[in-house]
A and B are shown apart, each in its own frame.
Chain A
Amino acid sequence: MSFIASLGVRTLMVSAETIIHRGADMAVCGADENVAKVLRSMGFNEIVGLYPDFTSAAAVLIERRAEFKNRTE
């Protein structure tokens, strides 16, 4: 992703809201430096984690999923 404005962030936020309220998790990976700056400026990173690549995002999501399963079993 090389460009995003507030309209795009709002679309992402609506998706995140739906996903989070269903008990699932979401991450953004591989964002261009300027795109990440937009997401941080709007506070999106306080709701959804930003990661440099897919591997690091997947690792965090898998770890969170395991923690969640341990708490609920």
Chain B
Amino acid sequence: MSGLGTKTRSRDFPGTVEAASDAEAWIAAESRALGLARDAEFAINLCLEELFLNAVQHGCANRASISIRTEPDGVRVEFVDDGAPFDPTVAPVRRIERPTKDFQIGGYGMGLLKQFSRHMSYWRDGGHNRLVLEFDANAGR
């Protein structure tokens, strides 16, 4: 991130599946505006899609907000939703395994958060889930 100052971009979204596409487009535009590497943009987009759809489909969230902040040593992304309490940092991680006839839908996305982010921290705050994800901004450069 050398050469880039600390900047923050934030936006609120309705808790709908359709809004996940709007969030994806917004993240792509802001990542380019903030000068993030392509790998960092991919990781942020992936993690936020997992969080957004999980909050809407399983947590019944009505609102979600995303904040992206560049810092000297990386990118800090905060995801806040008003859905049911859910801590992704302790959620079980499921992987696809043989036999395929036992394949179950759901539960795979939380492993991706741990794989693609550098660090995660969660807390419950006044009826909201707050998750902060940290990424390496220069990944892949």
Report which A residues bind B (CB closer than 8 A). Answer: 3, 5-7, 9-10, 13-14, 16-17, 20-21, 34, 37-38, 41-44, 46-47
Interface residue B90 (Cβ < 8 Å from any Cβ of A) = no
- The B interface, classified by DSSP as helix, strand, loop or mixed, is helix
A21 to B100 Cα, complex, angstroms: 9
Is B109's CB under 8 angstroms from A5's CB? Answer: yes
> What would 5 more interface pairs be, CB under 8 Å, given A10-B105, A46-B96?
A7-B53, A13-B103, A21-B101, A34-B43, A44-B96
In the assembled complex, which residues on chain B have CB atoms less than 8 Å from the CB atom of A20? 100
- The A interface, classified by DSSP as helix, strand, loop or mixed, is helix
Is A16's CB under 8 angstroms from B100's CB? Answer: yes
Interface residue B108 (Cβ < 8 Å from any Cβ of A) = yes
B43, B100, B101, B106 — most chain A CB neighbours (10 Å): B100
In the assembled complex, which residues on chain B have CB atoms less than 8 Å from the CB atom of A42? 95-96, 108, 111-112
A43 to B111 Cα, complex, angstroms: 11
In the assembled complex, which residues on chain B have CB atoms less than 8 Å from the CB atom of A41? 95, 111-112, 115-116
Nearest-neighbour CB distance to chain A for B57, whole angstroms, equals 10
Report which B residues bind A (CB closer than 8 A). Answer: 39, 42-43, 45-46, 49-50, 53, 95-98, 100-101, 103, 105-106, 108-109, 111-112, 115-116
Which of A3, A6, A21, A46 is the one whose CB lies under 8 Å from B98?
A46
Which of B42, B103, B109 is the one whose CB lies under 8 Å from A6?
B109
A37 to B117 Cα, complex, angstroms: 13
Is A3's CB under 8 angstroms from B112's CB? Answer: no
A21 to B39 Cα, complex, angstroms: 35
